[in-house]
């Protein structure tokens, strides 16, 4: 946890915008205001990102076509 907090804080200091991708994201990724430097956090299949990270960062989602329930990052 401490390493994650330090990492996200360091990116803040360096001027990075930071988005956490989640199906429950507050904003559609197409509508999110991006900065020139951006870090996008992607979770694991099934579990997604840890709740503490989702609570710390701005969350975005990619709306899926009906019938699809997974986004393959690979």
How do residues 10-32 score in pLDDT, each as one tens digit?
Answer: 999 999 999 999 988 999 999 99
**Type and span of the H or E element at 40:** strand 38-41
pLDDT in tens, 24-74: 899 999 999 999 999 999 988 778 899 999 999 999 998 877 766 566 665
Domain 2-61 sits in CATH at 3.40.1280.10
Note the pLDDT of residue 64. Answer: 77
pTM value?
Answer: 0.80
Contact yes or no for 8/30 (Cβ under 8 A):
no
């Amino acid at each position: 946890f401490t390493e994650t907090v330090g990492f996200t804080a360091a990116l803040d200091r360096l001027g990075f915008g930071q988005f956490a991708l989640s199906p429950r994201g507050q904003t559609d990724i197409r509508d999110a205001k991006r900065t020139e430097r951006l870090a996008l956090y992607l979770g694991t299949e099934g579990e997604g990102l840890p709740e503490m990270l989702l609570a710390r960062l701005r969350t975005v989602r990619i709306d899926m076509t009906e019938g699809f329930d997974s986004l393959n990052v690979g």
